[in-house]
Structure formats: structure tokens, C-alpha cells
Amino acid sequence: MNKQHPLIVFSPSGMRGRVAKGTTVLEAARQLGVDLDSVCGGRGICSRCQILPSFGSFPKLGIKVSADSISEWNKVEERYDRVRGLKPGRRLGCQARICGDLAVDVPPESQVHRQVVRKSADRRPVTMDPAVHLYFVEVSQPDMDLPGGDYQRLQTALEEQWGIKNVQLSLQVLSRLQGTLKQGDWKITLAIHQDHTGFAPRVVEIWPGFFGGPLYGLAIDVGSTTVAAQLCNLADGAIAASSGIMNPQIRFGEDLMSRVSYSMLNQSGAADMTSAVRIAVCGLIQSLAATIAADERQIVEVVFVCNPIMHHLLLGIDPVELGQAPFALATDASVQTTARDLELVVLGNDVPVHLLPCIAGHVGADAASVILSEQPHKSEDLVLLVDVGTNAEIVLGDKTRVLACSSPTGPAFEGAQISAGQRASPGAIERVEVCKESLEPKFKVVGCDLWSNEDGFADATAQTGITGICGSGIIEAIAELRMAGVIDKSGLIGAATAGNESRLIRDGRTNAYVLHRS
Ligand code: FES
């Protein structure tokens, strides 16, 4: 054993190497390229650097680890444990020093790029790699003998303490910098955006003193009829909040082409629709943040997907060219912009906003996002993806070729222009089965796994109630009613084969079938 340069082995990465005796575990992780988080830069404040040392003999690793292979608890760790508590066996990697050969485990919450298994059907693992991180910095105070700006001293501190050079900040952040530095006694936490494009790192938001997060990313789907959004915790990928609203552009026209017509016929038509959707998105962001008692400033990155006309209107581009052949897009590339440019005034000016690329004149960024997520272009088997909204997109393909197309379907599947229609939110009927003998229905609602005829259904849905029917419920109800003979082949409800009059409401030529009476 080389006593002056003990061996340290990190799990689960398996990365190992020798470091000088007395090196902290965090420094060793950085030297060896191990994924160990830190916001406070090793000051014992953030606890992101937690590690779990293992003791004993590890023949596979070729080391023996004794209790004195790691330094004793120091005052910083003792204070942290007293005030906020450390799990049994855990140490702060920035405080614990390596005294002998050592094996340490980096728990998932201490990994920056942790793998997250999504809870959706395919359970594909996602590696978290957010472009925005928090950095805690101590900035030197102004000095009569050293004239210079606070921003420049912040740049120096960032380079010295984190190796981040040439950080940029907007006038909006600059205008708050001095007050924030003073409030934090010259300590400040910055959310800095650095991505793979090579642009200079940029300060997105600042907080006085230490701020440990969480930070959130926001994903928004602007549909023709509804706008749906999810707030995602950037540390672990968990969905912190979901919500949706009706797209206020409906008042300008229910489907895509009627909105293009509105733009053609009214001088400020496109601008009015742009303004309406941006204001609605701001309201949606506020309500999402309120749901989890978060500050909107914790939202540091936004991704939009939309069909091409919604995409153009969100960006402030007149969609008139999309209303006529050859249906030319203003751009078929992804768009990188900021909250300021999109007038998302509830967010910081410099919050990065990304729009996925539109594929063609009427196949939008929403279809691109489905392809990105489901990856039909990597599949051996033929994959069919169907997204039925007010506009429907269909993607078909495998690793040799992928085709996409779209067609208008109307707003009914999003809950518009249908009695009791609604978005797929808790309480909406989403599954329907109709008994072919009795013609009695049973159904499931969003947020409850029980069928309506099962014990416990009433209790399980007491809070949400049964509030309406969403698109998937409509499709299945129509299919089930047709198979049960309640709907004839012309589409008429209450055909001669129907036998359960208690469920039918006859009204001249317009008949109805009652799924649920509330
Ligand atoms: S790096 Fe922040 S507590 Fe260790």
C-alpha cells in the first residue's frame, strides 16, 4: 500500500485512483472525474456532496478499509448533523479527508447526472444532465484601494472558486446584483446556464447567501385547444406539478385554419393571438409554481412544443404562409430564445427557452418531441405513434425510415364543443366499456384505477368527482357503443338494436346515451 497516496474507489461508477493523503473526498472526486455534486463549493453548507464510506476487506477492489482510512468528523460535519441531520453512516465529501485506502458510495441524490427511470409505460432510463446549475460564491468586498465593479469581482470569484470563466449576465440581473450581494453579506448563489453549444456561461438567476434549490424546468405543450404544462425537478427528474388550461386563442377561431384566416382578415390578428397565448402561459406558470409553493424564479429553463401554427404564433411570427400551399415554415430548426423575448414576464429575463423543431408545414414540434421520446427511428419493429388532439399527427416508421403526417380532427377530443367534454385531468372519464347484453356501461376516471362498478370507486373518486369525459374516453365510448349496437353504422345513437331505454335520451333526431348521472 502506498501510504502517502492511498487508493480511493467510488461506486457505483467504479472509478478509482490514487490521491495525496489528506485530500478531501470531494477533491478526489473532481480529480478522478467522479460525478459528485456540490453547490456550496465545499463549505459544508449544501450537503450535496454526501458519501457513504464502507469499511472492511474488499478483495474484488483489492483494498482493506479501516475506520482510520477516513478523517474523524470535523466541526463543520458535527454542526451540519446537529442542525439538519445526516443519514447514518453518511459523511460530507467536502469535509471528510482520505487517510488510507477507501471505498465510498455516491448515493443517487449526490450524483449530478443521476439516472432516472421514468414511471411511464416504457420505463426508459433518463440521465439527468441539466444545463443550469447552482453555484455558491463568496465575493470580495469593495475596497477604496481597489476600484472595480461588483460584477467584475463576481467574475473573478467564479473563476477562482469554480473555474467558470467569462460569465455573462443581463441588465436585469446586474440591476439586482449589488443589493443581493449586500443582503447576503457578499455571499451569493447563482443559477448559471452552460450547455454544449460553447456559448459563454450565463447567469439566469441570483439569490443572497446560500440557496440550495430545488430548481425546476418547465415543459409546455401549446395545443390548438389546450395548453398543458409540467414542472420538473432538475435534480431528480421528478414531475413536481402538472396543469393545463384552455388556449385562449379559441376565441379567434377553433381550429388551426380559422386562426390563420383570422390573421389574414385582421391587421393585428396575429399579434392579438400571440399576446393572448403568452399571457395565458404566464398565468399557467404562476399557478404551477403556487401549487408547490415555489417561487417562479426557481424555474430556470423552459421547453415548448406546439404544432406549427401555435409555434409561429407563440414566437410572434404571422402564420399566414402556413395557410396556403406550399405551407412554408419560417424555420424548421429548433429555436433557442429567452423568457424576455417571449414576454414571459413572470420568469427571469434570461431564462433559456427552447422550442423543438417543426418537421413540415403541418407536422410540428409536438410530433418531433414524440419522436424524440419514443425513438421510432431506432426501432427494429415498425412503430405507430398517434397523437389525436384538435390536430392529429401520425408517425410510422422503424430504423430504416420514419414518416409523419397530420390532419385536422376538430376540438372535441380536447373537450371543446361537446357537452361534458374536458381535458384529461383528474375526474375525467378516460376508459369506457359497454356490456353487449345489458348495454350498461362501466368506466374509469383519470386519477383512479378502479372501474366504476368496483367496490371503493365512490370513495376513491369522492375528492375529484366525475367531472366530464376526455378524448380517449370519447373514442372508447364511441367504439364500445358501436360494438354493442347502441350506435348504428350511420352513427346514430339509439338504433333499433339498442335495448336499454333507461340509458337513452331521445330528442327528435338527436339522441344521447347516458354514461353517468351526477
Ligand atoms: S459541497 Fe456543499 S456541503 Fe459539501
Residues 6 or more apart whose CB falls under 8 angstroms from that of 171 comprise: none
For residue 141, what is the DSSP state? P
> Are 402 and 395 within 8 A, CB to CB?
yes
DSSP-assigned beta bridge partners for residue 133: 192
Is the Cβ atom of 96 under 6 angstroms away from ligand 1?
Answer: no
Per-residue confidence (pLDDT) for residue 214, from 0 to 100: 93
What does the block give as the cell for 409? 380532427
Query: How does pLDDT run across 359-391, given as a tens digit for each residue?
Result: 988 888 989 999 998 899 999 999 999 887 777
β-strand pairing of 216-222 with 299-306:
parallel
The DSSP string of 309-327 is: HHHHHHHT--GGGGGSTT-
> Are 239 and 217 within 8 A, CB to CB?
no
CA 132 to centroid of ligand 1, rounded, Å: 18
CA 215 to centroid of ligand 1, rounded, Å: 17
Q: How many CB atoms lie within 10 A of CB 172?
A: 12
Rg of the chain in Å (alpha carbons): 29
> Are 336 and 193 within 8 A, CB to CB?
no
Is the Cβ atom of 40 under 6 angstroms away from ligand 1?
Answer: yes
CA angle 175, 181, 183 (to 5 degrees): 105
Instruction: Determine which helix (DSSP H) or strand (DSSP E) holds 441, and give its type and residue range.
Output: strand 441-445
What does the block give as the cell for 16? 478509482
Is the Cβ atom of 50 under 6 angstroms away from ligand 1?
Answer: no
CA 17 to centroid of ligand 1, rounded, Å: 22
Is the Cβ atom of 25 under 6 angstroms away from ligand 1?
Answer: no
Is the Cβ atom of 297 under 6 angstroms away from ligand 1?
Answer: no
The number of helices, as runs of H, and strands, as runs of E, in the chain is 10, 26
Residue whose CB lies within 8 A of the most ligand 1 atoms, among 40, 90, 97, for a mutation test: 40
Is the Cβ atom of 49 under 6 angstroms away from ligand 1?
Answer: yes
CA angle 452, 456, 461 (to 5 degrees): 65
CA angle 233, 275, 470 (to 5 degrees): 60
CA 297 to centroid of ligand 1, rounded, Å: 23
Per-residue confidence (pLDDT) for residue 337, from 0 to 100: 93
Is the Cβ atom of 473 under 6 angstroms away from ligand 1?
Answer: no
Is the Cβ atom of 212 under 6 angstroms away from ligand 1?
Answer: no
Is the Cβ atom of 202 under 6 angstroms away from ligand 1?
Answer: no
Please give the C-alpha separations between residue 326 and each of 312, 329, 330, 335, 362, in angstroms, as whole numbers. Answer: 16, 9, 12, 22, 11
CA 208 to centroid of ligand 1, rounded, Å: 18
Per-residue confidence (pLDDT) for residue 339, from 0 to 100: 94
Per-residue confidence (pLDDT) for residue 444, from 0 to 100: 95
Reported ipTM: the value is 0.98
Rounded Cα–Cα distance for residues 331 and 322 (Å): 12
Rounded Cα–Cα distance for residues 398 and 380 (Å): 6
Nearest atom, ligand 1, residue 40 CA: 2
Please give the single-letter amino acid code of residue 138. Answer: E
Is the Cβ atom of 229 under 6 angstroms away from ligand 1?
Answer: no
DSSP-assigned beta bridge partners for residue 302: 218, 353
Nearest atom, ligand 1, residue 45 CA: 3
Rounded Cα–Cα distance for residues 158 and 421 (Å): 53
Residue of 206, 208, 207 lying closest to 170 (CA atoms): 206
What does the block give as the cell for 311? 409555434
For residue 288, what is the DSSP state? H
Please give the C-alpha separations between residue 473 and each of 20, 198, 385, 436, 481, in angstroms, as whole numbers. Answer: 64, 47, 18, 18, 12
DSSP-assigned beta bridge partners for residue 384: 396
Is the Cβ atom of 329 under 6 angstroms away from ligand 1?
Answer: no
Rounded Cα–Cα distance for residues 303 and 297 (Å): 16
> Are 195 and 131 within 8 A, CB to CB?
yes
Is the Cβ atom of 189 under 6 angstroms away from ligand 1?
Answer: no
Is the Cβ atom of 47 under 6 angstroms away from ligand 1?
Answer: yes
Is the Cβ atom of 51 under 6 angstroms away from ligand 1?
Answer: no
Residue whose CB lies within 8 A of the most ligand 1 atoms, among 38, 78, 79, 138, for a mutation test: 38
What does the block give as the cell for 180? 443581493
Angle at which helix 171-183 crosses helix 150-162, to 10 degrees, equals: 80
Rounded Cα–Cα distance for residues 51 and 258 (Å): 58
Residue whose CB lies within 8 A of the most ligand 1 atoms, among 46, 71, 106, 135, for a mutation test: 46
Is the Cβ atom of 142 under 6 angstroms away from ligand 1?
Answer: no
Residue indicated by cell numbers 396556403: 324
Rounded Cα–Cα distance for residues 211 and 136 (Å): 8
Residue indicated by cell numbers 471528510: 96
Per-residue confidence (pLDDT) for residue 384, from 0 to 100: 94
Per-residue confidence (pLDDT) for residue 115, from 0 to 100: 55
CA 100 to mean position of chain CA atoms = 42
> Are 518 and 465 within 8 A, CB to CB?
yes
CA 50 to centroid of ligand 1, rounded, Å: 8
What does the block give as the cell for 267? 391587421
| Below-50 pLDDT ranges, the chain | 117-121
Left, alpha or beta for 348 (phi > 0: left; psi -120 to 50: alpha)? beta
Is the Cβ atom of 94 under 6 angstroms away from ligand 1?
Answer: yes
What does the block give as the cell for 174? 446586474
Left, alpha or beta for 339 (phi > 0: left; psi -120 to 50: alpha)? alpha
Work out whether the CA dihedral 157, 158, 163, 166 comes out positive or negative: negative
* Strand stretches in 446-501, DSSP E: 468-469
Residues 6 or more apart whose CB falls under 8 angstroms from that of 160 comprise: none
